[in-house]
């Protein structure tokens, strides 16, 4: 995840579009002081303002919040590779398939990888892991 805070992102996008704080404030129906506080990091916009801010700056809410989906997917791939390497080396040969899949899922979730993914995607991953772990009858 990008470490830039939302206030810095708002300021950067506002300046890139040649806008002044008053214009942002008017669009969002907030005070100029509120926008100033966001940009200096002394306050945060209300979560209900995020979609309007994204619309104003023609960007995604993820971008506005500093979420880097590509980096998260890269991190998931790294965890999967690590788990696969451990399984190939025989470290966990005695662990049931469901336990290995559950370990991978818990590792991904515990590292907060899915915090910004739609719930449907998380459920799909869980379902795939459970299917792959179900022993053949």
SS3 for 60-128 is: CHHHHHCCCHHHHHHHHHHHHHHHHHHHHCCCCCCCCHHHHHHHHHHHHHHCCHHHHCCHHHHHHHHHH
**Which has more pLDDT, 116 or 82?**
82
Q: Is residue 50 over pLDDT 90? A: yes
Ranking 54-58, 93-97, 113-117 by mean pLDDT, the lowest is 93-97
- The whole-number pLDDT of residue 126 equals 65
**Which has more pLDDT, 105 or 32?**
32
**Which has more pLDDT, 50 or 65?**
50
Q: Is residue 81 over pLDDT 60? A: yes
Q: Count of alpha carbons within 13 Å of 95, Cβ hemisphere only?
A: 16
Average pLDDT over residues 84-104: 58
Q: Which domains does the chain have, with CATH numbers?
A: 6-65 (1.10.260.40), 69-133 (no CATH)
Split at pLDDT 50, 70, 90, the class of 3 is very low
Q: Is residue 47 over pLDDT 70? A: yes
The whole-angstrom separation of Cα 66 and Cα 25 is: 21
- The whole-number pLDDT of residue 100 equals 59
């Amino acid at each position: 995840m990008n470490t830039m805070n939302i206030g810095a992102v708002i300021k950067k996008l506002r300046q890139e579009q040649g806008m002044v704080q008053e214009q942002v404030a008017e669009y969002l129906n907030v005070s100029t002081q509120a926008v100033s506080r966001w940009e200096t990091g002394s306050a945060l916009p209300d979560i209900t303002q995020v979609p309007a801010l994204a619309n104003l700056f023609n960007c995604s809410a993820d971008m506005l919040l500093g979420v880097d989906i590509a980096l998260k997917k890269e991190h998931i791939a790294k965890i999967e590779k690590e788990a696969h390497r451990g399984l190939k080396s025989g470290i966990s040969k005695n662990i049931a398939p469901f336990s290995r899949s559950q370990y991978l899922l818990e590792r991904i979730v515990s590292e907060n990888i899915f915090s910004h993914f739609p719930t449907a995607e998380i459920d799909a991953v869980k379902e795939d892991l459970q299917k792959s772990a179900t022993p053949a009858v």
